[in-house]
Chain A
């Protein structure tokens, strides 16, 4: 399967701990997105990479959040000093270099902060 993969699929952590999620996009896609989805809501945009450059960050992405995409391949999203409000599904998506830019989503990482 050459779709978007995310790891881990589930993460339970205690408040105050740091967590890191990984996303592997479709190999030929140079655009990569992170979204967050809470129960009963649609996904909300967090950040965007074009190749290795992080070109946009949402105001939702507080100082405790950092994302990287070294070498323009996989991406990581780290949350430091987790809070209960960080509990959500974290979704990664990728899209191709050329339009019309439909996005292909991974299965997500469900984070529970206790």
Chain B
């Protein structure tokens, strides 16, 4: 079963605008990761944030984590048409020995040129 949900389910923006996606989860986590999946392709790891971190940056990506609210957000700045993809958050549970990932339902982002 899915760990949580992402919001919105779909998002359409113009090139150059910022895109924000939110993720909620249910249980205590060790870390939270964001992945991108282009149509028909595999998942690409974007960024990992540990449970003791609150914010992390990587290029045009900014991730925040609020463990008290069990939520995370992914901000993509200055979006490009190539950012069009599905974005998934995935959590690795606290105390889990395997570090298996539990994925959310995904946000489908469409960036219009």
Interface residue total, chain B, C-beta cutoff 8 A: 25
Which of A12-20, A43-51, A71-79, A80-88 lies on the face that meets chain B? A43-51
Q: Which residues of the other chain, A, contact B106 by a CB distance below 8 angstroms?
A: 40-42
Given the known A-B contacts A42-B2, A45-B102, A56-B100, are A100 and B43 also in contact in the complex, defined by CB atoms under 8 Å? no
Q: Which residue of A lies closest to B106 (CB)?
A: A42
Q: How far is the CA of A105 from the CA of B45 in the complex (A)?
A: 8
Q: Which residues of the other chain, B, contact A35 by a CB distance below 8 angstroms?
A: 101, 103
Q: Are A101 and B44 in contact (CB under 8 A)?
A: no
Could you give, for residues 15-56 of chain A, a 1 whenever the CB lies within 8 Å of some chain B CB and a 0 otherwise?
Answer: 000000000000000010101000011111100101000011
B binding-site residues for A, Cβ under 8 Å: 1-2, 31, 33, 35, 41-45, 48, 50, 88, 90, 92, 97-106
29 contacts between A and B (CB under 8 A): A4-B42, A31-B98, A31-B99, A33-B100, A33-B101, A41-B105, A42-B104, A43-B43, A43-B101, A43-B103, A44-B1, A45-B102, A55-B98, A56-B98, A91-B43, A93-B43, A95-B99, A99-B99, A100-B31, A101-B99, A102-B45, A103-B33, A103-B101, A105-B35, A105-B42, A105-B43, A105-B45, A107-B42, A108-B42
